[in-house]
Structure 1
């Protein structure tokens, strides 16, 4: 027990105070992440949209996210990560307050598009900020800490969202807007004059591609494409999985929120430990490949007969997949980029995941509506196997500036 505690605490050593503050801000922001997990249920139950119409609107979130990821990366390289993060947080809040008034298919689609365009510009700026304040040897840990905060917030947000939805869906949107404002105030107050980690000359020379555009970096483009395939599968968590819980298992909004909260709690409690052990025992390629395969396994489990325990087992495996794959994907991006194009590389990394926000709900809802959830889950499993093979082939062609390849 003492040895386990020592390993667990050792996973947190070396992280800077700004890294912890970024995590706290992310926690506050994500504690209000109530809207997206319930958006599909809100549209089908409250607004009486069809499942396919709901999928179209969810894809509009992805379209906006693609634009926000690219634009956010471009703006970050020109104006700095501080201004872009602060602007995104403060301008996202009023959009949440407006959304409950949009009840037609067209107006809600545009509103969701605009919301994601503004909110997702935060992601590349935030990733650059994490790399800016972290020491090179702790970059993966810093990303993991930030994601741990996201998932702690996500464990609270859906549970609170499930309760609020049982009272009024409008409260979901208002709660999300308020937490954006709180996160923005704290971020602006703490980071407005904060200096980051200064790179030494020998660290800078390790950055092998200081001037190359990520859009001309063919190995990294292939890597980003594989990240998109992974994210298409993983994001069924936010799109079709709540609909599956509702339509197949007949769970209430509160029960759905509890399962999603459980997933956030698992990632919060285990991410730093798993990442710490994985860094020591496995290569970057091995961690990403194994995490990708676990994603498919988690969804394929849903095709077997079982009670609600099966849903918890499936989402637990999905959590381990997330822990192992996503932080190390970010590490590949950081180590592949140079000082002056980190925003562009982070933007492309965010773009890979944002593209999945377009494709994932559309494909997921289309397959579920026309062929059934069983075909969707088997297809997701096959896709992750193909994606894992792709990662094996491509990562060895990407030169990383650290020794853990």
Structure 2
């Protein structure tokens, strides 16, 4: 017992106070993240949209994420991560408040695009902040701490969102607005005068250095991000078709679905920091990424077998394990590939890979579920993830990170 406790303590050692404060901001922000898991159910149950319409609206969600990720990286390199994060969180509040008023397919789709674009400007700026405030040897664990906060919020948010949705779906939008408001207040209070540990060095203070790579013409990084996009095409069924699967096949209500999705966040909060601390010095980045992606594939293959609600929780546990082994190291690879002055572009490009998957993943998932059934969907999702696993095995060895 003592040794297990010591492993937990060691996994958190060396993390800066700023890393903890960033995690606190993310916790508050993501506790308010109630819309995403219930958006498909909201459009199906409340608005009466077809699965094709749901897929298209969720595709607009992805398109907004693409634009926000690229624009957020561009803004971060020019204005700094603090201003970009604050602006994004402030601007998103009124959008959440007015969203319930848009109830037709023609009006909701562009509003979802706008909302997601503004919200996802935050992501590359936040990723750069984590790297700037972390010690170089603790970058992966700093990202894991941030993700732990995200998932703790995600474990609370869906459960709370399921309760609010049982009263009225409108309340999940208001809950998101409240979460963003509290998060931006805490962020500005703690970070308005805080000095970064790894602030960019002024050019005149340095000797001439080789020209830094361009994120969008770095061939190996482009291929890596294509593979991240392929991974996300399978993985992100978690946020689009998986809640519909629980509703259509297992007849779970909003509260039960919220608890099941929240279980994923709970698992990640408990185990991610320890798991990352254990594997990062024992296995290569390539080994961790390959096995993590393959484990994620297994979780979707498991959904083709029906052993009841306990089986669903087991599949979610496996999915969460694969996520813990994959996503923190994707961020680490991206920030290590970047130069000193273009971290925003590299993190923005990596965020864009996930955002691009959000365009096609929901539509492809809902199309397969509607026309071929959920069994075909889960088989395709698992196969897609296995393909990404093989791709990571090939590309990471060539990136030498």
Does 2:299 match 1:301? no
Instruction: Give the 3-state SS of the residue equivalent to 1:339 in structure 2.
Output: coil
Name 1:324's counterpart in structure 2. 325
Does 2:25 match 1:25? yes
In structure 2, stretches of 5+ residues that fail to align are: none
Residue 198 of structure 1 deviates from its aligned partner by 3.7
Aligned residue runs from structure 1 range 256-295, under 5 A: 256-295=257-296
**Moved beyond 2 Å, runs of 4+:** 198-201
1:337-377 per-residue CA deviation (whole Å, 9 max, x = no partner) reads: 01100000000000001011111101100100000000011
1:49-101 per-residue CA deviation (whole Å, 9 max, x = no partner) reads: 00110110011000000000000000000000000000000001110001100
Instruction: Give the 3-state SS of the residue equivalent to 2:12 in structure 1.
Output: coil
Whole-angstrom distance in 2 between the partners of 1:249 and 1:276:
37
Instruction: Give the 3-state SS of the residue equivalent to 2:303 in structure 1.
Output: helix
Instruction: Give the 3-state SS of the residue equivalent to 2:196 in structure 1.
Output: coil
Whole-angstrom distance in 2 between the partners of 1:358 and 1:18:
34
1:131-190 per-residue CA deviation (whole Å, 9 max, x = no partner) reads: 000010000000000000000000000000000000000100000001101100111111
Name 1:156's counterpart in structure 2. 156
Name 2:64's counterpart in structure 1. 64
1:187-209 per-residue CA deviation (whole Å, 9 max, x = no partner) reads: 111111110114799xx99xx98
- Asked if the contact 1:25–1:186 (Cα under 8 Å) also holds between the matched residues in 2, the reply is yes
- Asked if the contact 1:210–1:338 (Cα under 8 Å) also holds between the matched residues in 2, the reply is no
Whole-angstrom distance in 1 between the partners of 2:52 and 2:250:
20
Aligned residue runs from structure 1 range 63-82, under 5 A: 63-82=63-82
Instruction: Give the 3-state SS of the residue equivalent to 1:397 in structure 2.
Output: helix
Residue 305 of structure 1 deviates from its aligned partner by 2.1
Residue 218 of structure 1 deviates from its aligned partner by 0.3
TM-score, length of structure 1 as denominator length? 0.96
Name 1:169's counterpart in structure 2. 169
Aligned residue runs from structure 1 range 180-199, under 5 A: 180-198=180-198
Residue 232 of structure 1 deviates from its aligned partner by 1.0
TM-score, length of structure 2 as denominator length? 0.97
In structure 1, stretches of 5+ residues that fail to align are: 401-405
Cα 1:118/1:62, change in 2 over 3 Å: same
- Asked if the contact 1:259–1:312 (Cα under 8 Å) also holds between the matched residues in 2, the reply is yes
- Asked if the contact 1:209–1:336 (Cα under 8 Å) also holds between the matched residues in 2, the reply is no
- Asked if the contact 2:226–2:353 (Cα under 8 Å) also holds between the matched residues in 1, the reply is yes
- Asked if the contact 2:235–2:385 (Cα under 8 Å) also holds between the matched residues in 1, the reply is no
- Asked if the contact 1:52–1:362 (Cα under 8 Å) also holds between the matched residues in 2, the reply is yes
The size of the alignment, in residue pairs, is: 396
- Asked if the contact 1:81–1:129 (Cα under 8 Å) also holds between the matched residues in 2, the reply is yes
Does 2:2 match 1:2? yes
1:92-128 per-residue CA deviation (whole Å, 9 max, x = no partner) reads: 1110001100001011001100000000000000000
Whole-angstrom distance in 2 between the partners of 1:142 and 1:305:
38
Residue 399 of structure 1 deviates from its aligned partner by 2.7
Whole-angstrom distance in 2 between the partners of 1:126 and 1:368:
35
Whole-angstrom distance in 2 between the partners of 1:382 and 1:33:
29
Residue 211 of structure 1 deviates from its aligned partner by 1.7
Instruction: Give the 3-state SS of the residue equivalent to 1:128 in structure 2.
Output: helix
1:377-403 per-residue CA deviation (whole Å, 9 max, x = no partner) reads: 111111111111111111111132xxx
Whole-angstrom distance in 2 between the partners of 1:124 and 1:199:
16
Aligned residue runs from structure 1 range 80-95, under 5 A: 80-95=80-95
Aligned residue runs from structure 1 range 361-376, under 5 A: 361-376=362-377
Whole-angstrom distance in 1 between the partners of 2:130 and 2:386:
31
Aligned residue runs from structure 1 range 18-57, under 5 A: 18-57=18-57
Aligned residue runs from structure 1 range 103-182, under 5 A: 103-182=103-182
Residue 212 of structure 1 deviates from its aligned partner by 1.2
Whole-angstrom distance in 2 between the partners of 1:268 and 1:100:
31
- Asked if the contact 1:210–1:341 (Cα under 8 Å) also holds between the matched residues in 2, the reply is no
Q: CA RMSD in A?
A: 1.5
